[in-house]
Amino acid sequence: YFSAGDKHYLVYVHYIFWVAVAQVAILGYLNRFFPDTILASRHLITFAGAMSGIASVIFVKSFLNVKAYAPKLLKWLNLVILGDVIALLFLLFDKAVISYNMVNFVAASGSLIVLLTGLLTYKNGNKSATLFLIAWGIFLGSVIIYVLKDYGIVPYNLWTAHIVQIGASLEALLLSFALGDKINLYRKEK
């Protein structure tokens, strides 16, 4: 951010932070290193999931320049944020099960909205959407494999048990490249 001066980097770091917190919470590392603390709270997975959902939509809106390339989808992306905010309110009022289920529902529907947003911005001429779609596709694919593992459709093994972390890591790497590419496109235009 400091060398490029592009706000997309700050938004990206915010997004990656919450995705990392959610993954660390899911893997149980916070319970192991911070037992009996707010960091090990059973509600942290839900909280971090909602925050990563909010951060991902903010990143998508910024990175894909949705306002210019797909303005009709802004209201749908804002609904995803609203859904996660409502889930956080349920969590605040000790309705943890409702909150958790709502975060999962918003994540599933929000993922499809984000995919549609990426496709539409690409179709409307946003060159940065190419790497975004590849990164998002890898991440969604990893989530689908993880769910299929839970239903016994694909075998449980070390790879499928950690596929979401692998997918999230590859997504983060590709989005870093995409940000660098976007900066280079800006510089060429100027």
DSSP assignment string, 105-145? HHHHHHHHHHHHHHHHHHHTT-TTHHHHHHHHHHHHHHHHH
CB 60 within 8 A of CB 83: no
* 5-59 per-position pLDDT tens digit: 778 788 888 988 998 888 888 787 777 777 776 655 678 888 998 999 999 999 9
Q: Find, among 168, 139, 167, 163, the residue nearest to 150 by Cα.
A: 163
pLDDT at 98: 94
Give me the residues of the chain with pLDDT under 50, please. none
pLDDT at 79: 97
pLDDT at 190: 67
pLDDT at 38: 62
pTM score: 0.85
